[in-house]
Structure 1
Amino acid sequence: MNSNTSPLIITASIYALLVLIWATTPLAIVWSVAEVHPMWVLIIRYFGASLIALLLLIAMRGALPFDRVSMKSYVAGSLNLIGAQLFIYLAANYLTSGLMALIFGFSPLIAGLIGHVILKTNRLIGLQWLGMAIAVGGLTFVFADSAESKVNPWGIVLMLLSMVSYISSIFWVKQIKAPLKPMSQATGSLIISALASLLIIPFIWQHFPTALPSTQAMIGFVFTMIMSSIVAMLCYFWLIKRLSASTVSLSNVMTPIIALVLGTTLNHEHISSHAFLGILVVMFGIILYFWKEWKAQYFA
């Protein structure tokens, strides 16, 4: 057996695990907020995830510095957590899990647009502009079928706000360039997110959960706290050091498709034929957007 076979299998397994977690997270969120107020679920999730991350960091004998640059980086990272996730949890009341994953699949496109128009860090070519236009057209087609496919305008707005928070966090963390290891960065950002979530309590105290939710809701909650907040984070940072950005970006095509299948089979979410056609158009647009990178990576 080739000496490179084992590392290849490990990398492929971790990649598959990350895609599966990302694809399952929207469904887990929908389940977890079905019986408990979304903000209470979010607060408990981040305090639980912070504790787990802190224990892992101690076990790994990692450092958690509190100097000015590190603290700034933690805050920037928390914008991806408490900022982006807050809007996702609110959107769970308006959209199916599959459509949430589909809309979030636009994040690389929006990041590219921000980099081109505002930050001037990259230049988009004609094929990428065409891919964006096709993807937006497909999403509009899905939106037009809202009566049958449970596409609420508020859900779209909330998911867009989530993407803006997520992308802003990435750019901000990169701009700070704090000399932090991934686990330290993630733990610090989780702690900041947990503390920031306390500010929500006065507005939701009357919705404090008084009984344990159903098994399905608990499964969704535990999944988001452990798999989505901790395991996915470690997989992502492990892969980003070993694979090209174009390879990691393939997940933006696979994740929504898997999420749609999971939502349909496990949560009985209905997607009409018109909406499904729109989803295929969105996927085609995303493929066009990334085609230049993938062609250079795999067909050069």
Structure 2
Amino acid sequence: MSQPRKGADLFLLQLMLLLCAIWGSQQVAIKLAAEDIAPLLQVALRSGIAAVLVSLLLLWRGVAGGWLAATWRGGLLAGVLFALEFFFIAEGLRHTTASHMAVFLYTAPIFSALGLHLLLPGERLQPLQWLGIALCFGGVVLAFGAGQGWSELDAGMLLGDLLGLCAGLAWGLTTVVVRGSRLSEAPSALTLWYQLAVSFVLLLGYALLFVDLPAPRWTALAIGSVLLQGVVVSFLSYLAWFWLLRRYLASNMTVFSFMTPMFGVSFGVLLLDEPLSLNFLIGASLVLLGIALVSGADWLRRRVARARGAMDPV
């Protein structure tokens, strides 16, 4: 019998704050170490380190063997999309700020909701969610700088922002693949392993064969960035997330996860001294509000129904 999921409590809030801070630090860490080690090489190594750790975990648990034959097609596709996500992140951070990347990357729930709406009858979008999608894409346009004349826009930053949006699309499609294939029934660690292992091979192969990357300088900052991403983010934090999913309601966790872009923006401003325009702040707020409506619609409806029930006379 599956363990019943709990509602939000103080422990969940504290752990989600920590996880969101960790996830929000990724883009800043890549940007900070970019002069010592190329972003593309950073994201390739992070996947390789985490893939080795997850492989050891799977061998220790002995849970993956029976699932490989049933899941390898979906696993390969999910891995390719995961590789594309981090390719777009690495390339995008060469042109735009970590703050912008943090917001555009987290448009992923919008793309996954649209994909699931088209593929799965049980995932049809409700009117409140369509409103969230409209707000999100309106926010994206505003964050791109549509309030200015197009001649004033920085073409390089615009390209970086577009690559961040592509990263969000790839992440959203990864979710669709997982939900629409046998991976949805497989152990979560196996799904994570597919994504990490395939992305490591593809990203490292691309970096070595097609890109003239400068030789990395193994400074403390470079090593720290790779280890943060490979061990803390891609291994420990993802396993903590899956552990929480087995114990708490996913809707509550999704609502808390909206804090991640805010941490990303804050770290970018504090650690990288990144500027923030009024257009971007307003657009980012609309993006986050839209994501909240799409991902938290069921949670919001339950809260409203509960509040109405409490007000009804007995």
**TM-score if structure 2 supplies the norm length?**
0.80
2:182 corresponds, among 166, 173, 177, to 177
Whether the aligned pair in 2 keeps the contact of 1:82 and 1:193 (CA below 8 Å) is: yes
Q: Which residue of 2 aligns with 1:196?
A: 202
- Cα 1:181/1:113, change in 2 over 3 Å: closer
- Cα 1:105/1:187, change in 2 over 3 Å: closer
* C-alpha distance in 2 between matches for 1:235 and 1:260: 23
* C-alpha distance in 2 between matches for 1:149 and 1:271: 14
1:249 corresponds, among 245, 254, 258, to 254
Q: Which residue of 2 aligns with 1:127?
A: 128
In structure 1, the residue corresponding to 2:179 is in which secondary structure?
A: helix
Whether the aligned pair in 2 keeps the contact of 1:79 and 1:168 (CA below 8 Å) is: no
- Give yes or no for the alignment of 1:95 onto 2:124: no
Whether the aligned pair in 2 keeps the contact of 1:95 and 1:150 (CA below 8 Å) is: no
Q: Which residue of 2 aligns with 1:271?
A: 276
Q: What letter is aligned with 1:286?
A: I
Instruction: Count matched residues.
Output: 294
* C-alpha distance in 2 between matches for 1:142 and 1:241: 36
Q: Which residue of 1 aligns with 2:299?
A: 294
- Give yes or no for the alignment of 1:281 onto 2:282: no
Higher mean displacement: 193-202 or 96-105: 193-202
Identical pairs, percent: 22
- Cα 1:88/1:114, change in 2 over 3 Å: same
Report the CA distance between 1:225 and its aligned residue.
1.1
* C-alpha distance in 1 between matches for 2:129 and 2:9: 30
Whether the aligned pair in 2 keeps the contact of 1:149 and 1:275 (CA below 8 Å) is: no
* C-alpha distance in 2 between matches for 1:32 and 1:261: 18
- Cα 1:267/1:298, change in 2 over 3 Å: same
* C-alpha distance in 1 between matches for 2:262 and 2:174: 26
Q: What letter is aligned with 2:187?
A: K
Whether the aligned pair in 2 keeps the contact of 1:116 and 1:123 (CA below 8 Å) is: yes
Q: Which residue of 2 aligns with 1:212?
A: 218
- Cα 1:287/1:194, change in 2 over 3 Å: closer
Whether the aligned pair in 2 keeps the contact of 1:246 and 1:297 (CA below 8 Å) is: no
Q: What letter is aligned with 2:209?
A: P
Whether the aligned pair in 2 keeps the contact of 1:23 and 1:258 (CA below 8 Å) is: yes
**TM-score if structure 1 supplies the norm length?**
0.84
Q: Which residue of 1 aligns with 2:20?
A: 19
In structure 2, the residue corresponding to 1:133 is in which secondary structure?
A: helix
Report the CA distance between 1:61 and its aligned residue.
5.0
Which structure 2 segments of 5+ residues have no match? 1-5, 307-314
- Give yes or no for the alignment of 1:105 onto 2:78: no
In structure 2, the residue corresponding to 1:243 is in which secondary structure?
A: coil
- Give yes or no for the alignment of 1:186 onto 2:187: no
